Amino acid sequence: MKKEKRNWFFTFAMILLGSFVVVSLNSCDTDDDPVEDPIATFQYEISEDNHLQVIFTNFSSNAVSYAWNFGDGNSSTEENPVHTYDGPGTYDVSLTATNSADVSATYTTTIEIQDPFEALARLAGETSKTWRLYRIESSMGVGPSTDDPRGWWALFNDGSRPCKYFHEFTFHRDGTYQFDDKGSFWGEGGLFPEGLEGTCFEATAANMVNVDGVDVSAWLSGTHQFEFDPTTNKVTIIGEGAWIGLPKTGTNEEVTVPQTSVTFNTSIEERDGYDYMHVWFDYGDLVWSFSYAHYHDPSLEPPVEEEAQDWGEDLPNLTPTELYHTFESETTFAHIGAIGGTSVITVGQEDPAGGDTHVGMFERVAGEQWQEAQLRTYPDLYDIQFDNFDVAKIDIYIPSDTEFTEGGLQRVFVLGFADMSATQEWWNSPVQFFTEGDDVVVGEWTTYTFDLTDVKERDDLDMIFLGIGGGGHEAGGIFYVRNLIFE
């Protein structure tokens, strides 16, 4: 009996040992789980009390240790260090995050440390500083991005908008901001009504009424306030009607009425004899940029060109008795056979409504904000005299599945006439006819007729343009046209 008892204890002990081995093996399996790679990243802010002190916040993951390089010869292994630089400058800061398997990842960014009083002095001088539009090279423009801020259009000191070059924008060290219109104002397109649009007019309250009949006299000469953030180089001008660049350049979008405050980006550099300030408004898919100068010796500032110089050429006149393009083929036209522009008309396409006659396919090219199809005389260019015609007609087909959205395709089309050969900014002085809203028919061919009385008063028109879907957006679209005929 004793022997059997010993065997029972031996068996029980072996069972316990086996269980321990299984548990141990399972524990080893858990220890062999892979360690995730680290991700290094951080953000920073400059102390409000000390412009040389930077507070770093570590947002790294899967890491157990950290190594900072502050770009000035100093380092740290703290998770969220606070570092004080010896002076202003540009520094490349790196964070290396390491996990438990000794795998590392590094994130680097550049920070700029500024003396706020030094930066403020660049903007507002020791007591004040007056800025005027830069009179050398381009002074303002609009483009698709900060990399190409004047890719679509740029203004030069060529006499086309002289009043803008006399305007003065003054920043005072006490936080006061002054605008002086010098007695003249520019009629910016889309803001001011016909008669003032595209002209330098007298800067009086009576003239300061926008296209919607709203009083915008707050844009005239006035005194406001400004705030400057040296960590971001952003300036906010505060007060009803305060503006810089163009009255319409608001903080986040173009506006048509005075704002109570406007924030914009700046960079200032010293040049030979003057300081140069770049101002820009970034709206995402559109950037307005402006160049200003402050001359230490005002007598060295180039003069303002007050008379517009001749541009392009005045074409010979053509007074046709027939004028049309059916878009059925490349040869079914009288005189207006050259088709160009950003929007593309491809002739000889199948009728989307099932008709037997070929038509033109009108394509708005996605990614282009302002566009139209343009027709000019072929094979030679002429200024067209419309004396023999009273109306223009065109057939337009807009597919029934076309989606009109806010900020996208708009239920509108325009037929216009302009002088392209001798007018540098032809879009500022066209004759144009808009059809919009419910007057634009969808899902069937529709003939639209336009009275040419105003067109016949011009003798310099050499281009006919057609826009479908509206402007100010980058949405593409496919439409169809036929029978542009003058009678």
For residue 152, what pLDDT is reported? 85
Rounded CA gap, 230 and 47, in Å?
Answer: 12
Residues in the chain: 487
Q: What is the pLDDT of residues 103-145, one digit of tens each?
A: 999 999 999 888 878 889 999 999 999 999 999 999 999 998 9
Averaged pLDDT score across all residues of the chain? 91
- The residue ranges of every structural domain in the chain are 42-113, 117-300, 317-486
- Strand 317-318 with 383-384, pairing: parallel
For residue 81, what pLDDT is reported? 97
pLDDT level of residue 51 (50, 70, 90 thresholds):
confident
CB-based contacts of 466: which residues, under 8 Å, 6+ apart?
A: 343, 345, 362, 372, 373, 375, 394, 413, 414, 415, 416, 481, 484
For residue 327 the two structure tokens come to 């878009």
Q: What is the pLDDT of residues 168-206, one digit of tens each?
A: 999 999 999 999 999 999 999 889 998 999 899 999 999
The full 3-state SS of 306-322, as one line of letters, equals: CCCCCCCCCCCEECCCC
Q: H-helix or E-strand containing 349?
A: strand 344-349
Q: What is the pLDDT of residues 206-255, one digit of tens each?
A: 999 999 999 999 999 999 999 999 888 999 999 999 999 999 999 999 99
Q: What is the pLDDT of residues 266-320, one digit of tens each?
A: 999 999 999 999 999 999 889 999 999 999 999 999 999 998 777 789 999 999 9
Mean pLDDT for 24-42 is 70
Strand, helix or coil for residue 70: coil
For residue 21, what pLDDT is reported? 41
Mean pLDDT for 327-337 is 97
Percent of the chain with pLDDT over 70: 93
For residue 148 the two structure tokens come to 């190409």
Mean pLDDT for 425-439 is 91
Nearest to 88 by CA among 64, 61, 56, 52: 52
Burial label, 455 (beta-carbon count in 10 A; 0-12, 13-18, 19+):
buried
Rounded CA gap, 378 and 228, in Å?
Answer: 56
Q: Are 222 and 169 in contact (CB under 8 A)?
A: no
User: Which carries the bigger pLDDT value, residue 462 or residue 423?
Assistant: 462
Q: H-helix or E-strand containing 208?
A: none
For residue 399 the two structure tokens come to 């597919």
Q: Which CATH number fits domain 317-486: 2.60.40.10, 2.120.10.30, 3.90.105.10, 2.60.120.260?
A: 2.60.120.260
Mean pLDDT for 387-411 is 95
For residue 5, what pLDDT is reported? 39
pLDDT level of residue 8 (50, 70, 90 thresholds):
very low
For residue 32, what pLDDT is reported? 60
pLDDT level of residue 10 (50, 70, 90 thresholds):
very low
Q: Read off the DSSP letter of residue 334.
A: E
Q: Are 468 and 485 in contact (CB under 8 A)?
A: no
Give the DSSP letter string of 139-201: EEEEESBTTBTTSSEEEESSSSSHHHHH-EEEEETTSEEEEE-TTEEE--TTTS-TTTTTSEE
pLDDT at 18 over 80: no
Strand, helix or coil for residue 230: coil
> Which amino acid is residue 78, in one-letter code?
E
> Which amino acid is residue 107, in one-letter code?
Y
Look at domain 117-300 and name its CATH class. mainly beta
Looking at domain 42-113, does it have CATH number 2.60.40.10?
yes
Give the DSSP letter string of 439-487: GS--SS-EEEEEE-HHHHT-S---EEEEEES-SSS---EEEEEEEEEE-
Percent of the chain with pLDDT over 90: 80
Nearest to 179 by CA among 203, 161, 158: 203
CB-based contacts of 130: which residues, under 8 Å, 6+ apart?
A: 168, 169, 170, 294
